[in-house]
Amino acid sequence: MSQSKVLKLAYKNNGTITSAMITEEKISRGHLHYLVKIGKLEHTARGVYILPEVWDDEFLNAQTRYKKSVFSLGSALFLLGLTDRTPAILTLTFPSSYNVTAPRNQGYRCNRVKNTEFNLGIITTTTPAGNLVKTYNAERTLCDIVKPSNRVDIQLITAAFKQYMASYKRNLPLLSEYAKILKVEKKIKPYIEVLQ
């Protein structure tokens, strides 16, 4: 009975289920291992399982493994629809006190920011596979990509600003506010002036 409940939960959640979801439902994690053994689920990352017919979601796997992380820079641009360039390497941002050795060893690009800036602009968005993950909003991401220390390609920056300025969702007062907080006003101004 519990195994069918696990599969139902997976179907409801775009074919993905996590150990945390199972624990929340007060179902034994042993059911997950059994369902993997009989081929009804596949284990894709620590704590992440998918139905065999579902594509593996790299974004969800990364965030399930590193719960403190927030998608940023090129990964955030992609999730927000501000670029069609699929990131070759996912970029995760963590609070400055976080030890990034493990995620770096897993092949992720890792940034650390001051704890006071870490929570600025975090939103939840949907991955291409339909799962919810945390990323920075468009305004925060645009401020981050113009920082020289983040080494983002100028063509990617220009294309992202064009896309943002053409969007009905743009929020220039919020962009200005974030630019002040993150000290990038001078870097952002030329893009806005040219594209307005």
Residue 1: alpha-carbon gap to chain centroid: 34
What single-letter amino acid sits at 195? L
| Radius of gyration (C-alpha) of the chain in whole angstroms | 19
Q: What is the pLDDT of residue 1?
A: 59
Q: What is the pLDDT of residue 173?
A: 95
Among the listed residues 108, 178, 92, 93, the one whose alpha carbon sits nearest the alpha carbon of residue 143:
178
Q: Report if pTM > 0.85.
A: no
Q: What is the pLDDT of residue 182?
A: 96
Q: What is the pLDDT of residue 195?
A: 73
What topology is assigned to 2-56 in CATH?
A: Arc Repressor Mutant, subunit A (1.10.10)
E strand map for 103-192: 109-113, 122-126, 132-136
Chain length of the chain: 196
182 three-state secondary structure: coil
CA pseudo-torsion sign 55, 59, 62, 66: negative
CA pseudo-torsion sign 41, 89, 113, 154: negative
Dihedrals φ, ψ of 84, to 5°?
-105, 5
- Give the chain's mean pLDDT: 92
88: β partners: none
pLDDT beneath 70, residues of the chain: 1
CATH 1.10.10.10 domain residues, the chain? 2-56
Q: How far is CA 49 from CA 10, 102, 145, 168, in A?
A: 8, 21, 33, 37
Q: What is the pLDDT of residues 48-77, one digit of tens each?
A: 898 888 888 899 989 988 999 999 999 999
